[in-house]
Amino acid sequence: MQKLIPNRTNLFMEMEEYARENRVPIMELEGIEAMLQIVRIQQPTKILEIGTAIGYSALRMAEACPSAHIVTLERDQERYEKAENYFARSGMGDQITLIKGDALEQEDEVRLLGDYDMIFIDAAKGQYKKFFEIYSQYLNDAGVIITDNVLFKGLVYEKAEIEKKRIRNLVQKIDQFNQWLMENDRYHTVILPIGDGVAISRKK
């Protein structure tokens, strides 16, 4: 599937290489292509992204939907500064509002910039349920929430065999989030086994 994915721009390829070399978690190619297709179909006016990292997915969404404005949050100073640099170089910086801070503490600022047609969650995996609960209230009625890494390299299936306690606890939290999300009676949710696992939730 990766071989079938068209080449990205030079800037995106540079960002992918930087992420590989510096172990920055960005969305896997198959997963982001699926998400971008949803963006193209949905044509959101405003997107909220929880977890900027170096700005890769924000810029990919901005390119896929030039009419969209993206509000994105990042708490790590080094990644925040790297994202700022990439946004400036991309020529799409006007489409993006970058907020510095922990997503668990930035609700007031995010609320002032909303409501949102799409929310993309790709930050601290142990906090997925809190992120969803805090920010889903600012999602428009026809809105979609996309959550990455919900299969976490397949470990949600193999959690009983994980030796490291920290990883085992994290995987357990992701598994609990998946079950909670699938049972949430306010959303239709499907989990796609592509990339690192992508959940797509739409308001009922």
DSSP string, 133-180: HHHGGGEEEEEEEEEE-SSGGGTTTSGGG---HHHHHHHHHHHHHHHH
CA 101/CA 99 separation, integer angstroms: 6
pLDDT at 8 over 90: yes
Q: How high is the pLDDT of residue 74?
A: 97
> Which pLDDT band holds residue 145 (cuts at 50, 70, 90)?
very high
pLDDT at 174 over 70: yes
Q: CB–CB of 204/186 below 8 Å?
A: yes
Q: Please indicate whether residue 115 or residue 162 has the higher confidence score (pLDDT).
A: 115
Q: How high is the pLDDT of residue 159?
A: 59
Q: Please indicate whether residue 178 or residue 158 has the higher confidence score (pLDDT).
A: 178
Tens-place pLDDT, residues 9-59: 999 999 999 999 999 999 999 999 999 999 999 999 999 999 999 999 999
Q: How high is the pLDDT of residue 201?
A: 98
92: three-class secondary structure by DSSP: coil
Q: CB–CB of 99/127 below 8 Å?
A: no
67: its two tokens:
């009419």
Sign of CA dihedral 159, 173, 30, 164: negative
Q: How high is the pLDDT of residue 160?
A: 58
> Which pLDDT band holds residue 87 (cuts at 50, 70, 90)?
very high
Tell me what the mean pLDDT of segment 62-84 comes to.
97
Tens-place pLDDT, residues 97-113: 999 999 999 999 999 99
Residues of the chain above pLDDT 70, percent: 97
CA 16/CA 10 separation, integer angstroms: 10
Provide the total of helices (H) and of strands (E) in the chain, helices listed first: 7, 7
Q: How high is the pLDDT of residue 158?
A: 66
Q: How high is the pLDDT of residue 76?
A: 96
Residues of the chain above pLDDT 90, percent: 82
